[in-house]
Structure 1
Amino acid sequence: MTNFKYNNGDETKLHVVMSPWLAFGHMVPYLELSKLIAQKGHRALNFRKDLVASKSFGPALSTPRNIDRLLPRLPENLSSIINFVKLPLPVGDNKLPEDGEATTDVPFELIPYLKIAFNGLKVPVTEFLESSKPDWVLQDFAAFWLPPISPLSTARRSGFLNRRDSKSTPPKWVPFETPVAFKLFECRYIFRGFMAETTEGNISDIHRAGGYEAEWLGLMQDLHRKPVIPVGVLPPKPEEKFEDTDTWLTVKKWLDLRKSKSVVYVAFGSEAKPSQTELNEIALGLELSGLPFFWVLKNRRGPWDTEPVELLEGFEERTADRGMVWRGWVEQLRTLSHDSIGLVLTHPGWGTIIEAVRFAKPMAMLVFVYDQGLNARVIEEKKIGYMIPRDETEGFFTKESVAKSLRLVMEEDEGEVYRENVKEMKGVFGDMDRQDHYVDSFLDYLVANR
């Protein structure tokens, strides 16, 4: 490792290992934090699939295919500081398809087997930690087995805050007023994943997880009796250079023909796949709204998903004059930054929220999986996004509710608050000096307490 000057001018070396869960909504933020740490002279390592025989120093452990998909996000000037250690994902008889190394690669019902395989990394991770002797391990929720094998300090990703009842209220141990609580239908999404311990050999997410805002951070610290240190929102950097690929040039040509802030950008991330009924209502709602739209359609979770959803027959033909359905990957940051995008219809996954706010795009939201319900409550409270009305118990929604919500946020006087508030919030999410201060404070703690 290279010596470097850090803050107080003393010679300091810090070796940090990152261990994110095998989902891009987790791996990408860990990589962004690694980049920020590395830019300050520390060694960081991200978690990958193939185990490198020789010692590697840096902040990332993961699987080979995941690492190969993350590497394009790594600037050349950091490639010698951030090292990826590829750990082969144990497959065995766990029913995972070949190359199924991330949650986006497999159908939802196979994710418990991905977690079982992830547990199999305990031995190679132990061997790596013993040989590399890092100062810190920054761990995600899934590696519940990591603290006992790690002879060093470990930071853990926070879990979910909710109360499982029909009143959809915060737990009694939250000492302040807040609307942040799951609705009943959202609890079903959560427990669909949590109850996956019924899969033989799996460990529930409740067991894996250790348990926003200043009040929430203070509460977590009081509850767990351990320091809780924010690292910021890790916003994307639009100033990073992009290549003009054929895909982008095609998308840009279509967007360039639209008026400023007139297009609804529709995308539900790598994890969420609406049911066929939900997809139908979304499509009919877009058609009923009369608004231009650019829809990044994902109709299956990986190539092994045997139940793909399809658009209604004739939908694309009827909306061809104002809408584009894109089946494939697009550069979301670049697309969101385009001036024609005026609204994002999406799931409230935290990564998408950060990217939308970074470019001052208000949101219309539909919850599909995991912790998205709590994210949606926070965004609603800040009035930078609008939750499309749904049945509180079953989560049903209609084309009329979709159309009305889109027009409200995009055009109507009632939606002006969302359009204005997101501009103000952009100044917070896009404040790189503030972000830099968070990372400095975090590193101060790591250096002082290693």
Structure 2
Amino acid sequence: MMDSHTGKKKVHFLLFPWLAQGHINPFLELSKALAIHGHKVSFLSTPVNISRIRPSLQLQDWPGQIDLMELPLPPTEGLTPGAECTADIPTEMAFPLKVALDGIEKPFRSLLRQLSPDYLVHDFVQYWTQSAAAEMQVPAIYFSIFPPASFAYALHPSKLRNQDITAEELAAPPFGFPSSVIRFRLHEARDLLVMYRGIPGHIAPISRFAKCLEGCMAVILKSCFEYEEKYMSYFEDALGVPVLSVGPLTPAVLPGASGNGSDHSDLLEWLDRQREASVVFVSFGSEAFLSEDQIHELALGLEASGLPFLWSIRFPRYSDGGHDPLGVFPEGFQIRTQDRGLVVEGWVPQVQILSHRSIGGFLSHGGWSSAMESLSFGIPLIVLPIQLDQGLNARQIAAELKAGIEIERGEDGSFLRENICTTLTMAMAGEEGEKLRSKAAEARDIIAANKQSHIHDFIQKLEQLAEDHKNKKQVM
């Protein structure tokens, strides 16, 4: 299809992320970037997730279009009706959520046949989308939300194909890995072993990754930093599949916008009253939750630092309000810090907060989307990784970008209030803080320079790949 205004070919993409906010958001940002460049996107998820997304797309005007598509999950044993996102459920219910998603394979095939897109862009859980795409001769592309270094480290074929892998083997970098500083700590590797251990009769999570990588026409990643090219080349050589960049995919700040319709004027007014670059923003994303002991140590570390802070604390939706938000903090903490600290329970407009002049540092779990959002505003990171690839991300931020600092932990992964206080003081003040801010500003400029150019290059490379792929199949 040709665009009547530009004369350029309009490409139709079907995007289908895993049912987790940390996956949905990058897929949505990719959708927006494609629509800005005049392309058509069909964005597929479940009814609950689509209802959460819809407000963020209202009043948007792009040369292209984004159509929101829904497929309901079937009733599944062990899964509460209406639980359609990992943030809605405890960790142990992630397995039935995957089973429920597998249950929409048949209606997905019907939808794919009906839409007949030029490309299918899918996530790691729904590996079965590839066979459906192959039947209909739709090129399948795997979009990994992980940054190139973490992706190349954790999903190297030597690790993917070893379901009996030990924590020590998982912690060790794969052969030829182009970094001596990025690696898992042993306690992080132990926590990740669950990805390799499936339930009898069902596919293991790591096998889902493997099948996605084996059957796709290409892999796409978020990247924009020069140092990331060595990881993309390394993985491309190891896998034998083209690896393409779609740029940083950081969201834009829309004046007055609030992603979930809530009014956060009081929070923003509180920030307006703080000194420039003085506040530590504390947030661990939508799905990384601290234990009560960890909350206590973090709170007391913040208190001891003497720094102004804004803490967005979230509890799983499945907790049904059974927690007492004030009860999770050390006794008297909020009273003692009320003159310089603000604690907000639930969702906050993270991009608006990070763009505010009063924010001087971001204490985060190290999720790559959050890290890129922070760096896109030149805000250095204080990283406390909680799960999955976040430990690898923390080492990238500290060692490769030098735009953040990781909080010291014990061999078992524990941390103390002293670790929090010392690291915050280093990051927010003195010579070390100046160096971090300088590097974060460099990262901001790189992200800004690469934000739009990557999508145009990506489309060109993709079209050439599709043509080569088609010719190769005809020869065979």
Q: Which residue of 1 aligns with 2:241?
A: 226
Q: Is 2:141 the counterpart of 1:155? A: yes
Q: Which residue of 2 aligns with 1:348?
A: 366
2:251 paired residue among 236, 243, 246: 236
Q: In structure 1, how many angstroms separate the alpha carbons of the residues matched to 2:91 and 2:321?
A: 9
8 Å contact from structure 2 (residues 152, 231) kept in 1? no
TM-score, normalization: structure 1? 0.88
Q: Which residue of 2 aligns with 1:145?
A: 128
Q: In structure 1, how many angstroms separate the alpha carbons of the residues matched to 2:96 and 2:152?
A: 22
SS of corresponding position for 1:317: helix
Q: Is 2:111 the counterpart of 1:111? A: no
Q: Is 2:6 the counterpart of 1:4? A: no
Q: Which residue of 1 aligns with 2:220?
A: none
Report deviation, 1:302.
Answer: 3.4
8 Å contact from structure 2 (residues 36, 64) kept in 1? no
Q: Which residue of 2 aligns with 1:377?
A: 395
Q: Is 2:207 the counterpart of 1:207? A: yes
Equivalent position amino acid for 2:206 in 1? I
SS of corresponding position for 1:344: strand
8 Å contact from structure 1 (residues 193, 370) kept in 2? no
Equivalent position amino acid for 1:37 in 2? L
Equivalent position amino acid for 1:76 in 2? Q
Q: Which residue of 2 aligns with 1:54?
A: none
Q: Number of residues paired by the alignment? A: 426
Q: Which residue of 2 aligns with 1:177?
A: 179
Alignment of 1:45-84 (within 5 A): 45-46=42-43, 61-74=44-57, 75-78=59-62, 81-84=65-68
Q: Which residue of 2 aligns with 1:58?
A: none
Percent of aligned positions with the same letter in both sequences? 34
Q: Which residue of 1 aligns with 2:421?
A: 403
1:160–1:282: structure 2 CA closer, same or farther, 3 Å change rule? farther
Q: Is 2:103 the counterpart of 1:88? A: no
1:422 paired residue among 440, 451, 461: 440
Report deviation, 1:258.
Answer: 1.2
Map Cα deviations across residues 71-117 of structure 1 (whole Å, 9 max, x no partner): 12224324982111100012221x22232111111111211111111
Equivalent position amino acid for 1:187 in 2? A
Q: In structure 1, how many angstroms separate the alpha carbons of the residues matched to 2:314 and 2:459?
A: 38
1:412 paired residue among 430, 446, 453: 430
Q: In structure 1, how many angstroms separate the alpha carbons of the residues matched to 2:441 and 2:45?
A: 36
SS of corresponding position for 2:242: coil
Equivalent position amino acid for 1:373 in 2? G
8 Å contact from structure 1 (residues 107, 304) kept in 2? no
1:41–1:156: structure 2 CA closer, same or farther, 3 Å change rule? same
1:125–1:240: structure 2 CA closer, same or farther, 3 Å change rule? farther
Q: In structure 2, how many angstroms separate the alpha carbons of the residues matched to 1:136 and 1:166?
A: 36
1:3–1:331: structure 2 CA closer, same or farther, 3 Å change rule? same
Q: Which residue of 1 aligns with 2:457?
A: 441
Q: Is 2:291 the counterpart of 1:288? A: no
SS of corresponding position for 1:352: helix
Q: In structure 2, how many angstroms separate the alpha carbons of the residues matched to 1:428 and 1:80?
A: 26
8 Å contact from structure 1 (residues 236, 358) kept in 2? no
SS of corresponding position for 1:76: coil
Map Cα deviations across residues 315-357 of structure 1 (whole Å, 9 max, x no partner): 1111111111111221111111111111111100011101111
Q: Is 2:135 the counterpart of 1:133? A: no
Which of the two has greater helix per residue?
A: 2
8 Å contact from structure 1 (residues 116, 201) kept in 2? no
Equivalent position amino acid for 1:90 in 2? P
Report deviation, 1:371.
Answer: 1.1
Report deviation, 1:243.
Answer: 6.2
Q: Which residue of 2 aligns with 1:394?
A: 412
Q: In structure 1, how many angstroms separate the alpha carbons of the residues matched to 2:316 and 2:331?
A: 18
Equivalent position amino acid for 1:229 in 2? L
Report deviation, 1:386.
Answer: 0.8
Alignment of 1:274-353 (within 5 A): 274-303=290-319, 310-353=328-371
- Of 370-379 and 181-190, the range deviating more from structure 2: 181-190
8 Å contact from structure 2 (residues 74, 100) kept in 1? yes
8 Å contact from structure 2 (residues 38, 63) kept in 1? no
Q: In structure 2, how many angstroms separate the alpha carbons of the residues matched to 1:363 and 1:169?
A: 25
Alignment of 1:28-39 (within 5 A): 28-39=25-36
Computed over aligned residues only, the root mean square deviation of the Cα atoms, in angstroms, reads 2.4
